[in-house]
A = this chain, B = another copy of it.
């Protein structure tokens, strides 16, 4: 039996609603995964996180291997227990963080030696180590170790990264020893269609439980991103889950679902929440602004989140201006609730065969 079922296929696009079954529970797709980089979604307790409607979260191998270390998490019963999250967890492999957070000291086909962003200590990571760590963290979905390139990288650099990503995907699959976990491949290739085709085709040949698109939302812009997603989706098996990594805005998400994506993760709702930026259906609110000083309305009328049920814009503005932690906490709760409500709305529209109307609302070029 497959651990991914497509329940509703849109008749006018590759969009679909499905159900992903993991060792720690089921996930309705399209799904948004809040980011718990270091074992905590910033500012939110697991109980508050559950109340936002989140069912699966993301954590980062890179951060967790440096601190507190996989041995500690293993001794304490795995990442879910460590962070008190009983639902499904997906970990990224560390590839992206190694390339984005570190001054590289050495990279070759074998792996990457880098300086820890915490204390500068030399650390080594390769496909086998990244897979072993993820196996031991006890999460539900793990990712192949990959090489990400920056937007604007030259084609020969991107090609080299794609070839390495394919070899490392092979090695990740061989190293994978925890049968209760799904292993996803990561398609790289920047915004170069041929390289995306090459990477996708080769990964599908190797065969994975799901396929992610990495190396996007790194500066290429909405149009390039969606173009690349649409192109790549042609080469991925429709029956497997499709995950667009690190994306994105509500408009990005709707457009990507329209192209056939099932899973997303992004720091936007929490990072923006900590910075007084609230998402609403009528566009963002910047809660530090003077206009909110005596505004008794919640962030969003009708929103059922704890923040909107209990706090006015005026109070939230005051909390941010006074440096009270409650501001970041409450707006993170609202933003995650907003994102999960968007995902529920997308799933409902797919179920009712009305997804195209939703796409039009977001003024995406069909």
Residues of A bordering B, CB below 8 Å = 38-40, 42-47, 63, 67-68, 72, 75-77, 82-84, 293-294, 296, 306, 310-312, 314-315, 317-319, 321-322, 324-326, 328-330
- Give A69's nearest chain B residue, CB to CB: B293
Cross-chain pairs A/B with CB under 8 angstroms, 16 sampled: A39-B315, A39-B322, A40-B324, A43-B326, A44-B326, A45-B306, A45-B330, A67-B318, A72-B314, A75-B294, A76-B294, A76-B315, A77-B296, A84-B311, A84-B315, A325-B325
Contact between chains at A47 and B77 (CB < 8 Å): no
CB distance from A272 to the nearest CB of B (A): 15
Contact between chains at B324 and A84 (CB < 8 Å): no
Q: How far is the CA of A206 from the CA of B311 in the complex (A)?
A: 40
Q: How far is the CA of A147 from the CA of B321 in the complex (A)?
A: 29
Choice from B72, B83, B311, B322 contacting A293 with Cβ under 8 Å: B72
Contact between chains at B328 and A67 (CB < 8 Å): no
For A310, what are the chain B residues with a Cβ–Cβ distance below 8 Å?
Answer: 46-47, 84
Contact between chains at A312 and B82 (CB < 8 Å): yes
Q: How far is the CA of A42 from the CA of B325 in the complex (A)?
A: 6
For A42, what are the chain B residues with a Cβ–Cβ distance below 8 Å?
Answer: 324-326
CB distance from A303 to the nearest CB of B (A): 15
Q: A76-B294, A314-B68 are in contact. Are A325 and B322 (CB under 8 A)?
A: no
For A72, what are the chain B residues with a Cβ–Cβ distance below 8 Å?
Answer: 293-294, 314, 318
Contact between chains at B321 and A67 (CB < 8 Å): yes
CB distance from A93 to the nearest CB of B (A): 20
Residue among A75, A82, A318 with the most chain B CB within 10 A?
A318
For A82, what are the chain B residues with a Cβ–Cβ distance below 8 Å?
Answer: 312, 314-315, 318
Q: How far is the CA of A267 from the CA of B322 in the complex (A)?
A: 17
- Give A82's nearest chain B residue, CB to CB: B315
Q: How far is the CA of A289 from the CA of B352 in the complex (A)?
A: 55
CB distance from A112 to the nearest CB of B (A): 22
**Besides the known contacts A47-B310, A82-B318, 4 further A-B residue pairs in the complex with CB atoms under 8 A apart:** A42-B325, A44-B326, A45-B326, A82-B314
Contact between chains at B38 and A324 (CB < 8 Å): yes
CB distance from A242 to the nearest CB of B (A): 31
For A324, what are the chain B residues with a Cβ–Cβ distance below 8 Å?
Answer: 38-40, 42
Contact between chains at B315 and A83 (CB < 8 Å): yes
Q: How far is the CA of A325 from the CA of B76 in the complex (A)?
A: 21
CB distance from A269 to the nearest CB of B (A): 15
- Give A329's nearest chain B residue, CB to CB: B45
For A329, what are the chain B residues with a Cβ–Cβ distance below 8 Å?
Answer: 43, 45, 325, 329
Contact between chains at B318 and A68 (CB < 8 Å): yes
For A317, what are the chain B residues with a Cβ–Cβ distance below 8 Å?
Answer: 68
Q: How far is the CA of A306 from the CA of B43 in the complex (A)?
A: 15
Contact between chains at B312 and A76 (CB < 8 Å): yes
CB distance from A73 to the nearest CB of B (A): 9
Residue among A42, A63, A315, A321 with the most chain B CB within 10 A?
A315
Q: How far is the CA of A292 from the CA of B45 in the complex (A)?
A: 21
* 4 closest Cβ pairs, A-B complex: A84-B310, A40-B326, A40-B324, A68-B318
- Give A314's nearest chain B residue, CB to CB: B76
- Give A77's nearest chain B residue, CB to CB: B296
Contact between chains at A306 and B76 (CB < 8 Å): no
Q: How far is the CA of A133 from the CA of B227 in the complex (A)?
A: 59
CB distance from A173 to the nearest CB of B (A): 30
Q: How far is the CA of A311 from the CA of B45 in the complex (A)?
A: 11
